[in-house]
Amino acid sequence: MNILITGGAGFIGQNLTYSLLKRGFKIRILDNFSPQIHVIRDLPDDLVDQVELIRADVRDRAALIQALADIDGIVHLAAETGTAQSMYQIAHYNDVNSQATAQLMDVLANAPHSIKKIVLASSRSIYGEGAYDCKVHGIVYPGARSAVQLKSHQWDPVCPHCGDVITAIPTPEVARPSPASIYAATKYAQEDLIRIAGDSLGIGTTILRFQNVYGAGQSLNNPYTGILSIFSTRIRRGMSLPIFEDGQESRDFVHVSDVVCAIELALLNDAANGGTFNVGAGEPTSVLQIANMLVDALGGKVRPGVTAQYRLGDIRHCYADLSEIRTKLKFEPQISLIKGIEAFASWVLSQPLPEDGLDKANEELKKRKMMS
């Protein structure tokens, strides 16, 4: 197969490219090397001669038409990804994520092509809060926490029916989407665009909802996304490590090699056509716990501190129910969190020490009254 990877020069894209090349695929990458993500605005030397690179923005229709020539399958990774940043760059996120995806499908609808499969990188953020169990009402899906709740330090959602205490459980794909940020809304829009247009065009489509992806090669310079990257820079600089809320908010951290495996299964398996699948480790880890793991792995001297600050649009808990992808695609995550964090820390220590941009990013949010 000839594969086009939009955003292929990024973290997940490069890892996927190396893996697909080993399988004998021919790879074309469309990427604009956004400076917020890329310090070195080029491909690694060992990829330059192995892939075709189109250096262009995914919103560029002419570039899309060029990139789609003689392609069999698309992995659509290109997107803006900062949840907090999306709350005040609304039109930009809609343009890059939603509108560019609409244009991709518009090109396929109006020009000859050879595309048989599209795999979309979506996000667990489309769920908003994940699934919870109420002792009275069973499985429930609470809405986004309000500014009033957060200001009162009411961190945990309650049952939307009776207001009682609820417990987080694995979130299945059938959960009702409830985006709590502009970023999440644009990812959900991408899903509908790909699914509806792909079905009408007779193209096999698969939607993968990634949890928090981490691993060697991720951007260490983007202060708006990737808490492991943000934390690692501050640990190396001996700076304070501020943890929002009470530190018990949890995420599902999945290693990039497991994400690459899921993408390949989606590309190569007809059983994935028309499907939507969670991709994660299937286990929750508190932000305070992951921060302490990083301090230990990096040999840091300053322990994380809980600040009780908060950001609008953040969720409390969400971790993946992997039943669907295990059953249909035989996916099973291979990299434990302990092993993955050790490997990530080893790679981080081999990289140049980035500037810390967290304080500046947080000040921007405070100025806009999106953070306490």
Confidence check: pLDDT of 91 > 80: yes
Write down the pLDDT at residue 180: 86
User: Does residue 126 lie within any of the structural domains?
Assistant: yes
When mean pLDDT is compared across 164-173, 200-209, 309-318, the lowest value belongs to: 309-318
- Contact at 8 Å (CB) between 74 and 6? yes
User: Does residue 235 lie within any of the structural domains?
Assistant: yes
User: Does residue 86 lie within any of the structural domains?
Assistant: yes
- Report the CATH number that the domain containing residue 227 is assigned in CATH: 3.40.50.720
Write down the pLDDT at residue 312: 82
Proportion of the chain in helix, strand, coil states, percent, rounded to 5? 40, 20, 45
Distance CA 331, CA 202 (A): 26
User: Does residue 250 lie within any of the structural domains?
Assistant: yes
As for how many domains the chain has, the answer is: 1
Write down the pLDDT at residue 250: 97
Confidence check: pLDDT of 38 > 90: no
Please give the model's pTM, rounded to 2 decimal places: 0.95
Active site residues: 183
User: Does residue 50 lie within any of the structural domains?
Assistant: yes
What's the mean per-residue pLDDT of the chain? 95
Cβ count near 168 (within 10 Å)? 18
Q: Which domain holds residue 89?
A: 2-367
Distance CA 315, CA 284 (A): 13
User: Does residue 132 lie within any of the structural domains?
Assistant: yes
User: Does residue 372 lie within any of the structural domains?
Assistant: no
- Across residues 327-342, what is the average pLDDT? 98
- Of 209, 207, 216, nearest in space to 255 by CA: 216
User: Does residue 201 lie within any of the structural domains?
Assistant: yes
Write down the pLDDT at residue 70: 97
- Contact at 8 Å (CB) between 295 and 303? yes
